[in-house]
Structure 1
Amino acid sequence: MIGAGPAGLAVAVGLRQYGLGVVVVEKEPGTKREVRASVVWQRALEVLRDFGCAERFLDRGLQLRQAEMYVRGRCVGRHPTTAAGTAFPQPLSIEQIAMESLLAERLAELGTGVRWSTEALGVRVRGEGAEVDVRGPGGQKETIACRWVIGCEGAHSLVRKTLGIGFEGERRTDLQAVQINAKAEWKYVCAPDTTYFFLEHRTCLIASPRPGGGYRFFCFRDDPEPQQEGPPGLEEMRALIARATHDPDLRLVPTVPPWFNRARFHDRLATSLRQGPALLVGDSAHLWAPVGGRGLNTGLRGAHNLVWKLAAVHHGWALDALLDTYSAEQRAIARDVMRQMRRNLLELPPSRLTLAGMRLLGPALLASEGFNRRGQALLSELPRTHRRSALSTDAAGYAGRRGLRAGDRVPDVPVSAGGRQRRLHDMLSYDRWTLLVDGAAEGTADAAALRRSAGRYALPVDVTAIRAGRGHGSVLAPGTMLLVRPDGHIGLRAAAADRAALEAYLQRWFVPKAGAGQ
């Protein structure tokens, strides 16, 4: 593993949970001293739960319940950020400096540390393995032989460049972001669960509360002086924030550690995230302007997608083709995020026409239940699917049916199992697949046959009969089974009696146990 940012550490944690030996090298001397990314959305919190560290993130962060919108100094309404169908209804304000520390702590609990101050110098892929040349903190060089090499080292990825993988895209023009962490003396209420949005011509200022007090002031604006380098000064930020908030008496006190930053962006996506035993994760695989705070969150989702597939192939449970679906699925997610964030009118620097429209229509939109529901879905990332993946199959008779489809994430809703009331996600686990069967099939010959079919293959799978709670019948319709992946997405949707569909799916992706009859 090359790189110990959040995505790299998450991959290492997940692989250790699956029992794989991991070596993590990082050229920096330790976890970040800069605060950097600052929000974890609901789907990424579910990812962190599967990696065993969501609770410690919640202990260090602030849960955000709403955003308050201002257009040219006028409040046009509030947007709730709470989402249903998850154990983590609110997004979390927590800075990257804390995220990396907590992930490194979790990795250490699993018996692996990071080799800090160790730089990767060269990568060679050879057959079913790789070699990585590194230079340690004392200047000593060595070569590490490995079965897999994973590049998590950012935009200038050595792994990606060595393999000649394209990094397609372009530079964003006339867009910059300037940031400061500061406590503010201003005319607005300092609410630790409320993020403020201030829209002015060619300026979108976001003020998000920080766990240590004060706010992260993050401003997307035009770029009249592209040659200007270096972070903004305190007076530049004070003047910008005062103008956007219509508060000329505003005072700022920078936090400790200080965080001033100016950034410009490229939108880029690797042409493939896998080449044999080499894989790309996080900014090594995709990057874009941090509109919506999607970069780190998408990287964590990629780690979550990759780990269980790599572990299944490594342990001999699955055919190699399963690992190829990581590249296809994660690239599709990245393309969707990139496209959506290019149309994000709430965060990109608005034109005069956009401002006029927001001022006129904003109050009605923000009072609309439908608009808020769509906004909550987009922010939380809970509805993102893998429906187009080769790994997603709706069996005969199920294509086009309403309700959850193959590729969808299973929501965390009340269910009944074995006479007990449970949450559905309590029935799932990141270390196995789960075959959910309509509760009416419990104890029947069909259920027994499904267990026998699943038991012929090497992958760990649990067969569970459930009944969805009132109002959630679309999760598992009567007479249906759902084969749920370790990451909570549906692999197969079929009739509960359709043993042939289950066997065809398992045979396509997985390895039979030794001596298992077909």
Structure 2
Amino acid sequence: MNASGSRAVPHREPQDETVPHRKGSAGERHDLRDAVVVGAGPTGLALAIALRQYALDVLIVDKAPGTKREARASVVWQRGLEALRDLGCAEAFLHRGLPLECGEFHVCGSPAGVQELSMPHTAFPCPVSIEQDDIERLLRARLRDLGPDVRWSSEAVALRPGHDSVGVDLRGPGGRVRTVEARWVVGCEGSHSLVRRSLGLTFDGTQRTGLQCLQLNARPDWSHPGTPHRTRIFVNHRITLITDPVPGGATRFYAFRPDPDPTVEGPPDVAEMTRLVASATGEETVRLEPTEPGWANRARFHDRIAPTLRGGRALLAGDSAHLWAPIGGRGLNTGLLGAHNLGWKLAAVHHGWCPDALLDTYTSEQRRTALDVMRAMRRNVLELPPGRAMLTALRLFLPTALRNRRAARRGALLLSDFGRHYRDSGLSGRRGARTGLRPGDRLPDFPLAGGQGGGLHGLLSYQHWSLLHIGGAEHHARHTERLRELTRPYALPLRHRSVSLRAEPDAPLPEGTVLLVRPDGHLALRVPELDHRSPAAYLDRWSARRPT
């Protein structure tokens, strides 16, 4: 732990060693940008950072006059923190945020048990409570480390797709419209995305009727003492209340409840929110003192997704691509992880390291993830306001489920996003184990053996692929050298490592295993060391060859 109480982030290799000079040097049109990112919310900022780390000339624009000052989303889960580490800003998030160690459940006013939120084999065992205005401020600071700031008050008003570039018409503060040409355009501007509409894409789905979410940041006077690292979930008839501690000593109150009058608009006042808190907790006396600056919000929802996230040189990310009710805090995190997925793929195609088909795997992987999240949130009985039958079931069975270690593990795995995978992706090699760690899974940060110190993630980098030979003994040297020779003709950035893992029951990687790991930390291939054909076949499909 550092002096601020935040957990230190392990050292990782320099992030730019394997990135060649970007395209667009002398002789090309000076007004042609590598990429334009439309929308400077968390997803757009994260994507722009990822692309700049790969030396792309990125312009990020937003029609707003500056960074949002609203609290909005407030939890970054463990996998999201790993993505932020790859973007070079996780340490700042840990310093500013509060770690959340567990969730405490109450049903009909009575304690039902505790869900531990911590996870093993990661530098970030706990999620972090941090509000969106801080998230955007920290991401923007990292963006400025790598190049120019966001171009604010610049609204994208038209898209002009071409064969090898896209024209983006930008309207500035005085109403003047100018066109910027870019090799790639990514829409991260929200549910009313101009980029999506310009591609002629529908936004399939429906409005979620009968559900609203009311939010307020406040300091409560009630029977539950302030605990800075604990979320509380109160479930009662037709209402679920979630409380998260937020930096600065306040509490975020979320109330999910039916929507008896959809014509009521505007944020809840203190009186309405106090009644909801009392109803959810069963307490007769509750007082809420709103924070300054305040945050209150009433939200209704749509469940929608685009049929594809790509149209030629234009792509979609975040709420431009998919959205749903903010149950489980999944929207922010799915957007960040989508940017993390897209950034290295777009850079690899742009630099000519990989075929264009690599970008299509962004669509298949991210749409599958979004649809899985959407289905899970529709079945999230722990946050959706229950009727009497479901409430009775929760009273009977939730305490037992929370005491069951296997069930608790599954819950933490889902919340952390560590359980999400790309096993069905075309980018996941089919050979390897049928159980345990498989192609498409996130590679856990298994501890290294002997004097190597640290964990497996310290050997990875967002800037290159990694070929890991598990074993490290001298008798593996001939296989390692054979793999080096095999991969040398390929253009994609790739590093070889021979490593030994500390023997642990849940680290099922025997000596002699070879892992090909993507820049985003997901496993591409798992084969025995004697199998040299599978890595060669995989690289033949997904990598260009170096010029001879």
TM-score range normalised by the length of the shorter chain? over 0.9
Matched, 1:66 2:102: yes
**TM-score (norm: length of structure 2):** 0.91
Q: CA deviation at 1:427?
A: 0.8
CA gap of 1:270–1:336, structure 2 versus 1, over 3 A, is same
* Partner SS for 1:326: helix
Deviates further, 438-447 or 338-347: 438-447
Structure 2 residue aligned with 1:201, among 225, 228, 237?
237
In the alignment, the residues of structure 2 paired with residue 475 and residue 450 of structure 1 have an alpha-carbon distance, to the nearest angstrom, of 22
Q: Deviations over 1:305-345 (max 9, x none)?
A: 00000111111111111111000000011111111111111
Matched, 1:456 2:489: yes
Structure 1 residue aligned with 2:293, among 226, 237, 257?
257
Matched with 2:455 is 423
Matched with 2:513 is 480
Question: For structure 1, which runs of at least 5 residues remain unmatched after alignment?
Answer: none
Deviates further, 167-176 or 241-250: 241-250
Question: For structure 2, which runs of at least 5 residues remain unmatched after alignment?
Answer: 1-36
**TM-score (norm: length of structure 1):** 0.97
Letter in 1 for 2:370: A
* Partner SS for 1:149: strand
Matched with 2:79 is 43
Native 8 Å contact 1:441 1:447 kept in 2 = no
In the alignment, the residues of structure 2 paired with residue 25 and residue 212 of structure 1 have an alpha-carbon distance, to the nearest angstrom, of 31
Q: CA deviation at 1:476?
A: 2.4
> Which runs of structure 2 are paired with 1:24-423 in the superposition (5 Å)?
24-395=60-431, 398=432, 400=434, 402-416=435-449, 420-423=452-455
Q: Which portions of structure 1, spanning 4 or more consecutive aligned residues, are displaced by more than 3 angstroms?
A: 440-443, 472-475
In the alignment, the residues of structure 2 paired with residue 447 and residue 140 of structure 1 have an alpha-carbon distance, to the nearest angstrom, of 59
Structure 2 residue aligned with 1:435, among 467, 471, 475?
467
Q: CA deviation at 1:5?
A: 0.2
Q: CA deviation at 1:473?
A: 6.9
Matched with 1:470 is 503
Deviates further, 240-249 or 54-63: 240-249
* Partner SS for 2:448: strand
Q: Deviations over 1:186-228 (max 9, x none)?
A: 1101000011111111100001111022211001100111121
In the alignment, the residues of structure 1 paired with residue 310 and residue 418 of structure 2 have an alpha-carbon distance, to the nearest angstrom, of 25
Matched with 2:532 is 499
In the alignment, the residues of structure 2 paired with residue 231 and residue 422 of structure 1 have an alpha-carbon distance, to the nearest angstrom, of 47
CA gap of 1:369–1:473, structure 2 versus 1, over 3 A, is closer
Q: Deviations over 1:216-249 (max 9, x none)?
A: 1001100111121111111111111112122222
Q: CA deviation at 1:399?
A: 5.4
Native 8 Å contact 2:514 2:528 kept in 1 = yes
Q: CA deviation at 1:472?
A: 5.2
- How many residue pairs align between the two structures? 511
Q: CA deviation at 1:380?
A: 0.4
Letter in 2 for 1:231: P
Q: Deviations over 1:415-434 (max 9, x none)?
A: 238x5233100011100000
Aligned identity (percent) is 54
* Partner SS for 2:198: helix
In the alignment, the residues of structure 2 paired with residue 470 and residue 441 of structure 1 have an alpha-carbon distance, to the nearest angstrom, of 15
In the alignment, the residues of structure 1 paired with residue 523 and residue 534 of structure 2 have an alpha-carbon distance, to the nearest angstrom, of 14
Letter in 1 for 2:169: D
In the alignment, the residues of structure 1 paired with residue 401 and residue 436 of structure 2 have an alpha-carbon distance, to the nearest angstrom, of 27
Matched with 2:22 is none
* Partner SS for 1:393: coil
CA gap of 1:375–1:495, structure 2 versus 1, over 3 A, is same
